[in-house]
Amino acid sequence: MRLVDIADTIDLTAAESLWARHARTAAARGRLLSAPPKAMTFGVPPVELTLEPLSIDILGQPVQVAATARLYEFGVVALALQVPADDLPWVDFVARMNAVDATLGLASGTRIWDEQVAHLADALRPALVRPSVAPLHEDYLLALVQAMDGVEGTSMLHEEVDLVPLLSGESRRLSEQARKDLLRQRFSYYTDDLVVLTWDRAFIYEPRNDSDVVDILEVANAQLLELRYYDELLDAELPRMYDLVEATRNVANPFAARRYADLARHLYTLVAEVTEITEKVDNALQVTEDVYLARVYASALELFRVPHVSKAVDRKLAIIRDSYAALYEEASSKRGELLELAIIALIVVEIVIAVIRHV
């Protein structure tokens, strides 16, 4: 899957309506398959779009690929291409997955994702609030398996089947420490299911095909992407803010209070906008009672370093808040100075008038 930040926000209701008029394929609100509503819910359910199927060359053979998109309110679109890999020996299955990564991954240079994003952006433009000029993106590869010959339980599956080449994408044998690190994030709920997570790939064995793990990994990646966007936005804003503050302070203007107030309002607006969106990102998925999915979700967030990026955003917001408070105080001080000058000027005028009258 590839997730792209295409706008500041997306009007999901408008997007549904626009897609219904534009395309012959379906649009629906996303929902979790297996988790009860009280156990886990989307904060604002995303809109799922069925795209036209594609034909992609993989290992020199054309393959029909199903395509879907999911729109999140906070401006992210998650594109998924589902490549069939039925009735393959394990070695061939791993080769197929690595070939998919070589064909569609970051290093491939493929235009397929960009074309899909451009198609969606054109169709949904009225629903996009402040479309992104240079969109950021995240890629994640999922290997989904429903059945394997001879597998009845999954407690030792990672020892019976070599998952490492699939999870690492490496053809050479890794060290024992590297293998342990790759297999550390393993989760099972039933005796016959298994999820293994890494920072850019996941293996999911689910015989019932009703797992919500794919949705959870998508949301975690969407949160990472959006927080990355605001982290980079604030990185660019902080030097600009320092320059504006310095320029404002160096202006010898009795009406500098207005400059301070205008800059303070700009910073306050920026803080309010970023805080509002980051709250939506934080509440994209609400997990309460499903302990298993909560563990998978928390581990994915930690693995993707979402808390680390979130703390970086919070630190930069705190700097801007402090700057806003200082500017507001300075603006008030400048107003006080201006008022004092006005009072002194009035007193001088009154004295001059009184002297003139007595002359």
| Res 298: pLDDT | 92
Using an 8 Å Cβ cutoff, are 42 and 30 in contact? Answer: yes
| Res 348: pLDDT | 84
Q: Work out the burial of residue 209: count CB atoms within 10 Å of its CB; fewer than 13 is exposed, 13-18 middle, 19 or more buried.
A: exposed
Helix, strand or coil, per DSSP, at residue 29:
strand
Amino acid in the structure at residue 359: V
How far is residue 33's CA from residue 214's CA, in Å, rounded to a whole number? 11
With residue 116 as reference, give the H or E element that holds it.
helix 112-124
How far is residue 359's CA from residue 183's CA, in Å, rounded to a whole number? 99
Each domain of the chain, given as residue ranges in start order, spans 2-210, 217-358
Helix, strand or coil, per DSSP, at residue 305:
coil
The pTM of this model reads 0.84
Helix, strand or coil, per DSSP, at residue 170:
coil
Q: Work out the burial of residue 82: count CB atoms within 10 Å of its CB; fewer than 13 is exposed, 13-18 middle, 19 or more buried.
A: middle
| Res 20: pLDDT | 87
Low pLDDT (below 70) residues in the chain? 24-40, 247-261, 288, 327-338, 359
Q: What is the DSSP letter of 174?
A: P
How far is residue 120's CA from residue 114's CA, in Å, rounded to a whole number? 10
- 151 φ/ψ sector (left φ>0, alpha ψ -120 to 50, else beta): beta
| Res 288: pLDDT | 67
Q: What is the DSSP string of 219-245?
A: HHHHHHHHHHHHHHHHHHHHHHHHHHH
User: Is the Cα dihedral 203, 208, 212, 218 positive or negative?
Assistant: positive
pLDDT digits (tens, 9 = 90+) for 217-253: 999 999 999 999 989 988 888 887 777 777 666 555 5
3-state DSSP of 256-294: HHHHHHHHHHHHHHHHHHHHHHHHHHHCCEEECCCHHHH
Q: Where are the beta strands (DSSP E) in the chain?
A: 2-5, 7-10, 27-29, 40-42, 47-50, 54-58, 61-71, 76-82, 128-131, 137-139, 141-145, 186-187, 194-197, 201-205, 285-287
Using an 8 Å Cβ cutoff, are 279 and 272 in contact? Answer: no
Q: Which residue has the tokens 């490492």?
A: 164
| Res 102: pLDDT | 93
Q: List beta partners, residue 139.
A: 2
pLDDT digits (tens, 9 = 90+) for 310-344: 999 989 888 887 877 776 666 666 666 667 777 88
